[in-house]
Structure 1
C-alpha cells in the first residue's frame, strides 16, 4: 500500500516533508554520534521535559507531524480534527504509561529532539553546553558534572564532545518554510494541517 508520504511526494507539502525528514535524520545521526562518544543519555523513563510544556510548531514541523500521524496513527489524526484540547498544560501526546512517554516519537518536532541533547552559542559566539535541568544531580556528580554551563573545551575534556548546536539546526528548520516563519502552539496548528493533508489526499484520490 502506498504511503501518505509517497502519495504526496510531488506536492509542495510532500517536498517540505521530505526536507524536514532529511533534517531529522541528519540531527539524529549527529546526536547518535554524541551519545556513543559520551554515553550521556536521558535517564530511563524521565519525561520531565513534557510536563507543563506544549511545543510551538513551525509550518514545516506541523506539516510533517500531520503526514506522520495520518500515516501511522490515522485514528488519532481524525480525533484531533474534532478536538485537540485537553485540561492541562502538558503536551497532548504525552503518555504517562509508556516508558518513553512520547506517543508520536517519530513525528515529534525539533525542540523535542533537541532538548537535553544540544548546545548553544555564547555571546562571543563560542559553543557552550549545559546539562538538562531535569538531569539528577547525583548522576551528574558521578561524571564530574553539575548543573552549570560548560565551554566546548570543558565538555570535550570531561565527556569527549558536545552535541549539535540548537541555533544551527533551527535556522535550517525555519528555512523549510521561508514564506511563513511564524510558529503556533501544537494544538492550534496541527488540526488545520491534518485537515489540509486529508483534503490533498482526497484530491489525489487517496482517501
Structure 2
C-alpha cells in the first residue's frame, strides 16, 4: 500500500466511524443579533467598523443617493475623472448621470476604469463587512475588485448584526465577495499597502430607511 492509499483508507475509516455514531454537530451558537435589521445601533456599529478599516462612510436619505454617490466619486477622482461603471442592475436613482453600465468587457479594460458603483446584498455590522452576491445590483466580482475606487450603496434594512444572520439571507451557491474595507496587506516589515488585491479606495453610501 502506498502512502496515499494509506492516508485515504484512514480518512474513509474515520468518516465511517463518525457516520455510525450518529452524533450531530452542535448548533448552539448565536444565530441572531436580537436587533432588527437596520436598527440605529447596527448602523452606527457598521460605520465604526468600516471607518476603522479606512473606508469612507456617507449617510443619506433615499432621495439623495445619486448626489451622495456623485460627491464620493468627485472626492476620489476629481472633476476630470476616468470612466465610471455601474452594476448593470443598479437602480437609476442611485446612478451618476455620466456613469456607464458594465458591459462585460475584459478584465484588462475593466481595470482601466476610474471607479465602479455597486449595490450590496447584505452588510454585517459586527465585522464591518459588505457582501456582494454577483447579482444585477452588485455586478460581477471583477467590477468591485479591479477599478481603483469602489462605491457601494447599502440600504439600512440590509444591515444585520452577525455573520449567521447574514448567511441566512444569501444564496450559498452564488459567487460571494466579502468586503471589509479597502484592499490592504502588510509586508514583512508590517508596512500597510493598499490596493493590492482590490480597490485602494472604498466609499460606502449608507441609505437611511424611507
Bigger helix share: 1
Of structures 1 and 2, the larger Rg is shown by 2
Bigger strand share: 2
Higher relative contact order (CA 8 A, sep 6+): 1
Normalising by structure 1, what TM-score?
0.27
